[in-house]
Amino acid sequence: MLCRGRDDRTPGPRPHAPPADLGTLRDMRISVSSDMDEPVARSLVAELRARGHAVVTHGALNPESDPQWAACSAAAAREVADGTADQAVVCCWTGTGASIAANKVPGVRAALCTDGYTADGARRWNDANVLALSLRLTSEPLLKEILDAWFAGEASDDAEDRENVARIGRLDLREP
């Protein structure tokens, strides 16, 4: 199915679906990076901890870490790739640089999400394991919406979606 704008594959909450149990994804280890110590970055760390996750910080959120967006985003993504973190959230002013840097790490599928629908689609169709956020565009209410959708989202079982994710893995190996 090539069109993503129709039927039950449209991202976001389904009209008759029961609310997601966000408690099922508790106790994850999440690596967080930000190149600036902005209020939304601090809110992100606090929100993840309030949801029961262990948080490891990089960049401007950790005085012992390199705050440059390429360095701290790659550090957070490497923890996902090597299995020391379940997922990561990488942040920079636009979110673009952080997502590019994270995606250079083999095994990482980072998605820049600006709303809950995008976050749900990234988890569902792309099996994204790193969330990229814009420090400029993400308000605290929007942050919670994105996190709700991200953690409620599950990878699709659809064969086409799984093949696309497998193809991304082959691209990491420089295979067609």
* Residues labelled as active-site residues: 92
Considering just the CA atoms, what is the radius of gyration of the chain in Å?
16
53 neighbors 26 (Cβ within 8 angstroms)? yes
- Structure-token pair, residue 147: 């996190």
| Cβ neighbours of 55 (radius 10 Å) | 19
Query: How far from the centroid of its chain's Cα atoms is residue 27's Cα?
Result: 16
